[in-house]
Chain A
């Protein structure tokens, strides 16, 4: 097990280097520093000096990979690749194009993101599994048929509609919670209830259908018949045997997403004006702040690698047949 983890972590190193290189190509070669400067400063009435000055202030005036003018190690050190990508690799994100410290920003803004995404995920999975178990318990009845019709309808509605509709009915008409905004401490609760509720409801359609499919597949297996032959009732079989086995495929889908809770939701956060990482990314994209976008892209990739590792580990906990080696 330990050996497996060490091996997986070693595998992650070349993976992250690859991701890093790709990010670098995307942000500095495909989209050159000149382009970035012009997007910030405007296309027409900009002098070359202004562009150079902008680039110099942000360290974008260095050569990409090899610095002829420098001496010794600085050949490599005084380059964009070293200054930006290697630092990115070590999570030293540096300053945004507007001059703020990115690491500080991320540390500050991750809490509002987590405040919404963690409860949404926990309630979402709980609600979906409970509803799916209920549907499976009533399988081959009209209840199952109509709940599946309802699920398809729920799935077909755009999440934008849930957000705007929720804000209109619950916040504007019923005035139960504020439409948008955020505050620190316990005051945040009234702001996060609605986004969490909408997050859970908008996921029910696809979630229940997915979990139901997993449960149904397990419920048809042979060991279920053994359990019934032991004298267990339908409900006992569902909870003691089917649920435990169904956890295995469920874990793959859920655990891989856990690290992403940290990244927040782009849509929800911008609609509810939550100062989290999701809206941070959206704002950075709108402002063409490549330093931030680059950091978030890299962070996302790292979290994905972490997510896959967590999934593999969780497998061993749920399935005794899987031993990592």
Chain B
């Protein structure tokens, strides 16, 4: 057997900041064979990216490799001079980073950014350089590369940018391609395309692929061997099939158990009709689903909490010297649906389909352009001032990114209390505190959390704070705008559990906006699929997710990664 391409031996990395030393990577060893695809899996903060960066010696300030070796083709990477290391980066090892928007230089054309690598390592110039860049862009499937040579990153879509990023990594014809969360910032459909591309490229070039991800669905599609990382250590290494079928380590078992899955969808269409049926449905789905006819009540339910009719949200297109509005981009174009008390309606679709615009406009955060919203039978447009504010307080929103949706200068207690102050301006201090504490306990936080600041909490805890903040106003409807997509799998599962529990206890209704069909399957009673501002399919979760009728829904479902070992 030939020696492995990359051997990492007992690697440890420490970070110093503010007088504290954190061990990010704690003595890990693994190897990657030539031409193999290897996946390093773990939650955020487990040290996966740090491992990859330290192999390339690209750690940020404060990071230091304290022990261990990394051998690439027998060359000790940590013993090389910086000059030799520069020669090796890009030519022997290419890397694809997570967010193609921030990892591309915004002021250089994409052609130049790819060309830079070729000029540096292959000493290509002039016409030869230009045509090689075009060939690369073509290879990664960028449409019309010749026209796009001089385009800037912001002029491309997310998927196209990631293709450029891959072209940059491939330009030096590396033996090892590191892909650090290559699809996390992308939509499901794009994700599938990029994964297929990486796999094809690997087959064409015979390079080894080192995939770093937290998404087990991605792992199942692309990896041959898997290693699991938890707080700086490797807890398990196995082949793909062993990993999914017989996970050894408890952490891995939990990780797999926490996975949301489309097959889980089994919540009844109406919580009032069958509240104890979730187990039954789960069993039924196992034996093949016995479908009912399409849900005719999707548009009209008996006593809707929320009735949205022909709703439109347009963004104006302005032109000319006086910036007159000449046209509109129809983000939401005539959407109608109804939501009953205690039910969950999921809005799914790719980014840009208008689902977030719809949620924001319903709460009055952005202006709408037609249609009507009835909440509890009252047309919101009829109300003004205080009455309208009172009514709108019944609708609250939880945003996608718990990092940026809270004021970092307020304590958690004050953030939660803001809603209380609006609802009960005359609350005295002790009662206010008690209510805040009750809310924090409700979402699974401790009472002490009240006095701390948002940055002291992890992503999942922050999302809990956001939910507590929304609940403080005692809403009947919660609009959840991708509440779990910024979170790790296991944390995602906790938040889903919390949302279900709150719904059972308080009879909350959810409008759940998401692109993640597996999460939707766990939560939704009813699903509406949005495409280019319109609802193309709506019905019970089981029907839409298991027996989709519309072409677009089928495409979405096919693209969604599943944790099943192929074959």
Contacts known (A3-B321, A7-B321, A223-B102); A230 close to B107, Cβ less than 8 A: no
| B109–chain A nearest beta-carbon distance, Å | 8
A221 at the interface (CB under 8 A from B): yes
| A260–chain B nearest beta-carbon distance, Å | 27
Contacts known (A231-B89, A232-B86, A240-B116); A6 close to B321, Cβ less than 8 A: yes
A57 at the interface (CB under 8 A from B): no
Set B95, B120, B320: member contacting A3, Cβ < 8 A: B320
**B residues less than 8 Å from A10 (CB atoms):** 321
In angstroms, Cα B61 to Cα A140, docked, is: 9
A229 at the interface (CB under 8 A from B): yes
| B154 & A321 in contact (Cβ 8 Å cutoff) | yes
| A244 & B90 in contact (Cβ 8 Å cutoff) | no
**B residues less than 8 Å from A231 (CB atoms):** 86-91, 117, 120-121, 172
In angstroms, Cα B318 to Cα A281, docked, is: 45
Set B95, B121, B152, B165: member contacting A321, Cβ < 8 A: B152
Contact with B along A132-144 (1 / 0, CB 8 A): 0000000010000
Contact with A along B27-68 (1 / 0, CB 8 A): 000000000000000000000000000001010110000000
B104 at the interface (CB under 8 A from A): yes
**A residues less than 8 Å from B104 (CB atoms):** 223, 226
Number of A-B contacts (CB under 8 A): 86
**B residues less than 8 Å from A7 (CB atoms):** 321-323
Residue among B86, B154, B322 with most chain A CB within 10 A:
B86
**B residues less than 8 Å from A223 (CB atoms):** 102-106
Q: Which of A208-244 contact B (CB under 8 A)?
A: 220-223, 225-233, 240-241, 244
| B97 & A225 in contact (Cβ 8 Å cutoff) | yes
In angstroms, Cα B60 to Cα A220, docked, is: 8
Contact with A along B285-324 (1 / 0, CB 8 A): 0000000000000000000000000000000001111110
**A residues less than 8 Å from B346 (CB atoms):** none
In angstroms, Cα B86 to Cα A318, docked, is: 29
Q: Which of B73-114 contact A (CB under 8 A)?
A: 82-83, 86-91, 94-95, 97, 99, 102-109
| A32–chain B nearest beta-carbon distance, Å | 41
| B321 & A245 in contact (Cβ 8 Å cutoff) | no
| A230 & B105 in contact (Cβ 8 Å cutoff) | no
In angstroms, Cα B165 to Cα A223, docked, is: 11
Contacts known (A140-B61, A225-B58); A230 close to B168, Cβ less than 8 A: yes
| A229 & B321 in contact (Cβ 8 Å cutoff) | no
| A321 & B106 in contact (Cβ 8 Å cutoff) | yes
**B residues less than 8 Å from A253 (CB atoms):** none
The contact size tier of chain B is 35 or more
Q: DSSP class of A's interface residues: helix, strand, loop or mixed?
A: helix
**A residues less than 8 Å from B106 (CB atoms):** 223, 245, 319-321
| A229 & B95 in contact (Cβ 8 Å cutoff) | yes
**B residues less than 8 Å from A320 (CB atoms):** 106-107, 109, 152, 154
Nearest opposing residue in chain A for B56, CB measure: A229
Contact with B along A242-261 (1 / 0, CB 8 A): 00110010000000000000
| A293–chain B nearest beta-carbon distance, Å | 36
Q: Which of A302-321 contact B (CB under 8 A)?
A: 318-321
Contacts known (A3-B320, A222-B99); A229 close to B107, Cβ less than 8 A: no
Q: Which of A45-62 contact B (CB under 8 A)?
A: none
Q: Which of B415-462 contact A (CB under 8 A)?
A: none
| B103 & A225 in contact (Cβ 8 Å cutoff) | yes
In angstroms, Cα B319 to Cα A318, docked, is: 23
In angstroms, Cα B103 to Cα A7, docked, is: 35
| B92–chain A nearest beta-carbon distance, Å | 9
Contacts known (A6-B321, A228-B58, A244-B108); A222 close to B103, Cβ less than 8 A: yes
In angstroms, Cα B273 to Cα A277, docked, is: 86
Nearest opposing residue in chain A for B318, CB measure: A325
Nearest opposing residue in chain A for B154, CB measure: A321
**B residues less than 8 Å from A228 (CB atoms):** 58, 89
Nearest opposing residue in chain B for A231, CB measure: B90
In angstroms, Cα B90 to Cα A228, docked, is: 9
**A residues less than 8 Å from B172 (CB atoms):** 230-231
In angstroms, Cα B323 to Cα A7, docked, is: 9
| B503–chain A nearest beta-carbon distance, Å | 39
Contacts known (A222-B99, A229-B95, A232-B116); A245 close to B105, Cβ less than 8 A: yes
| B63–chain A nearest beta-carbon distance, Å | 12
Set A227, A244, A325: member contacting B107, Cβ < 8 A: A244
| A226 & B320 in contact (Cβ 8 Å cutoff) | no
**A residues less than 8 Å from B105 (CB atoms):** 223, 226-227, 241, 244-245
Residue among A222, A228, A229 with most chain B CB within 10 A:
A229
| B91–chain A nearest beta-carbon distance, Å | 6
**A residues less than 8 Å from B90 (CB atoms):** 229-231
Nearest opposing residue in chain B for A233, CB measure: B86
| B82 & A318 in contact (Cβ 8 Å cutoff) | no
Nearest opposing residue in chain A for B85, CB measure: A231
Residue among B105, B168, B172 with most chain A CB within 10 A:
B105
| B119–chain A nearest beta-carbon distance, Å | 10
| B116 & A226 in contact (Cβ 8 Å cutoff) | no
In angstroms, Cα B89 to Cα A229, docked, is: 6
**A residues less than 8 Å from B87 (CB atoms):** 231
| B133–chain A nearest beta-carbon distance, Å | 13
| B564–chain A nearest beta-carbon distance, Å | 33
**B residues less than 8 Å from A321 (CB atoms):** 106-107, 152, 154
In angstroms, Cα B105 to Cα A319, docked, is: 11
**A residues less than 8 Å from B60 (CB atoms):** 220
In angstroms, Cα B94 to Cα A231, docked, is: 9
| A107–chain B nearest beta-carbon distance, Å | 34
In angstroms, Cα B97 to Cα A6, docked, is: 43
Residue among B99, B116, B168 with most chain A CB within 10 A:
B116
| A286–chain B nearest beta-carbon distance, Å | 46
In angstroms, Cα B318 to Cα A3, docked, is: 12
Known A226-B168, A321-B107; further 17 A-B contacts with Cβ < 8 A: A223-B102, A223-B104, A223-B106, A225-B58, A229-B58, A229-B89, A229-B90, A229-B95, A230-B116, A231-B88, A231-B90, A231-B120, A232-B86, A232-B120, A320-B107, A320-B109, A320-B154
Give the A-binding residues of B (Cβ under 8 A): 56, 58, 60-61, 82-83, 86-91, 94-95, 97, 99, 102-109, 116-117, 120-121, 152, 154, 165, 168-169, 172, 318-323
Give the B-binding residues of A (Cβ under 8 A): 3, 6-7, 10, 140, 220-223, 225-233, 240-241, 244-245, 248, 318-321, 325
**What are 5 A-B pairs with beta-carbon distances under 8 A?**
A226-B165, A228-B89, A230-B116, A231-B121, A248-B107
The 4 A-B pairs at the shortest CB distance, nearest first, are namely A231-B90, A222-B102, A231-B89, A320-B152
